[in-house]
Amino acid sequence: MSVVLTLLRKDIRLFLRNKTAFALTFIVPLVLVYIFGQVFGVSRSGSGPSGVPIAVVKQTDAPVADAIIAGLQAESAFKVLTQSVAADGSKSPLTEARVRKLIDDNQLRFALVFPPDTISDETFGLKLKFLNNPRNDIETQTVNGLLQKVIFTSAPQALMDGMRKRAVSYIGTAETDKFYDGMASTIAESFGLDVAEVRADMEAGVMDFGPTTDTNADGESESDAPTTAAADFISEIIKIENEQLAGADVKSPGATRVVGGWAIMFLLFSVSGASTSLFEEKQAGIFQRLLASPVRRSHVLWSKYLFNVLMGIVQLSVLFLAGQILFGIETTSHIPGLLTVALVASIACTAFGMLLAAISSSPAAASGLATFLILTMSAIGGAWFPTSLMPDFIQSISKLTLVYWSMEGFLAVLWAQKSIIEILPILGILLGIAAVVNVFSVWRFNKGDLFD
C-alpha cells in the first residue's frame, strides 16, 4: 500500500508541476462554464438576453406609441435608443433614415418605427414597422418574441383608452358608458362570461375576457375559444410590417450565418499547431543546421509565417467551398471579397500562432495555451453565441478578438453583400491586430532562446 501511496504522491506532484495539464483541467472548463452561464443567464433573476439595442423612431403623437415605448424600456432584454448623438455631442431624435443607415453599417440590428399613420381616424387599429438585420437567428427570434409580447401587452390598454376618449369627445361620458355596458353584456352573453369581469377587463384593456383554467367536457379549456378569439382580434388590429434590411436574398441563411465563425476557429487551431512546430524543429536540430548556412532567423520566421498564411487561405477556401456544396452557401458571386477577408484573417491568425510560439516555453505549453485562448475567443467572439446575449463587459472584450472581426468580415461579404471598399475598416482592424501581435512576437523571439 505504501508503494501505491508513494506513486500517487509522485503523480500529484507531476500534475501540479505541469501548468498545461493544470490549465486544461481547471482553468479552461471554469472559463467556459462562466461564459455559458452568462449567455444563458443562470446567475440572473430572469433568463434570456439583456440590453439588446433596439432603436425607436416616433413619427406620431399617438399615446399608444408612448405606452409601447414605456413597455420596451421596462423590458430588461432591451436597451431602447431614441436619440442620435452627433459628432459634437448634440442629441436629436432618431429618424427612420438614420436607423436604416445604422442597420446597414451593422451598428444596429433592430428598430421599431411608429409611422405617422400609426393610429388612423378612418380605421381602428395600430400600424408599426419593424426594421431588422437578422444576421443571427437566435438573437432575431428572441427579439421578435419579446417585442411582440411587449406590443401585445402594452397596445390594447392604450388603444382602449384612446377609443374611449374619442367616444367621450363625440357622444359624451354617459352615452359612452352606456355603449361599453352594452358591449360588455353582449360579449359576456356570447362567451358565457361574467358581465362585471368583462366590463373590468374592457376598462383595463385586457382582451382575454375572463378565466383561463376551467375545462369543458371535451377536456379543452373553456377559455380557449375567447382567448384564441382575443389573440386573433389583437393580431388583426395590430399590423407589424416586417422589413429585413440585409440578407433577404441570401441562399441558405442559417449556414451563411455560422460558417465564418466555425471556419476561423478551425483555422486558429491549424495555424497554432503549425507555429508550435518550431519547437519540434528545434529539438530535431533543424535550426542549428539552417543557421549554420547563410540563413538568418528572420528567414526562418518569414517562411513559417508565409506557409501558415497560405495554409490558412487554402483551408478557408476549402471550408467555404464545402459549405457551398453541402449547405448551399452562395460563395461564387463573392469570391474577390471572400478571398480578401480570408487573406487578412489568415494573416491575423498566423500572427496569433507565432505569438504562442514566442511566449511559450515548450510545445505542450503552447498547445495548452492555444486551446484555452481559441476556445475563449470563439465563445466570446460570437462563433458559438450571439455577442448580444452576453453582458456588456464581455461584449466589449469580444471586440478585442480576431474571431469577432473575422466573422464581421465574412458576414459583411456573404450576408450583407458588401464590396471590398466597404469592408476596409474591418480589414484595417484585423491588420492592426496582426501588426501589434507581430511586433510583440518579434521582440519575444529576439529575447527568447528558441533559436539558441
**Does pLDDT of 59 surpass 80?**
yes
**Does pLDDT of 183 surpass 90?**
no
Q: How confident is the model at residue 217 (pLDDT cuts 50, 70, 90)?
A: very low
pLDDT of residue 361: 79
What b/e sequence results for 296-332 when a residue is b if at least 16 CB atoms lie within 10 Å of its CB, and e otherwise? Answer: eeeebbeebbeebbebbbebbbebbeebbeeeebebe
More confident residue, 450 or 53: 53
The values of phi and psi at residue 275, to 5°, are -70, -40
Least confident stretch, 126-130, 274-278, 423-427? 274-278
Q: How confident is the model at residue 47 (pLDDT cuts 50, 70, 90)?
A: low
**Does pLDDT of 220 surpass 60?**
no
Amino acid 200 reads A
Cell 405606452 sits on residue: 67
More confident residue, 396 or 87: 396
Question: How does pLDDT run across 154-178, given as a tens digit for each residue?
Answer: 877 667 776 777 777 777 888 888 8
Q: Give the pTM.
A: 0.75
Least confident stretch, 171-180, 221-230, 323-332, 382-391? 221-230
Say which residues have a Cβ less than 8 Å from residue 412's Cβ, sequence separation at least 6.
106, 337, 341, 418, 422, 423, 426
CA–CA distance, 70 with 327 (Å, rounded to integer)? 42
Helix, strand, coil share (%) of the chain residues, nearest 5: 65, 10, 25
Local structure of 107: helix, strand or coil: coil
Distance from chain centroid for Cα 174: 53
- Rounded mean pLDDT of 371-384? 88
Question: How does pLDDT run across 79-138, given as a tens digit for each residue?
Answer: 899 998 877 778 888 999 999 999 988 888 999 999 998 877 666 678 899 999 998 888
Bridge partners, 241 (sequence order): 129
Percent of the chain predicted with pLDDT > 90? 27
CA–CA distance, 316 with 329 (Å, rounded to integer)? 14
- Rounded mean pLDDT of 432-449? 89
Q: Crossing angle of helices 137-171/63-74, nearest 10°?
A: 140
More confident residue, 227 or 374: 374
Q: How confident is the model at residue 215 (pLDDT cuts 50, 70, 90)?
A: very low
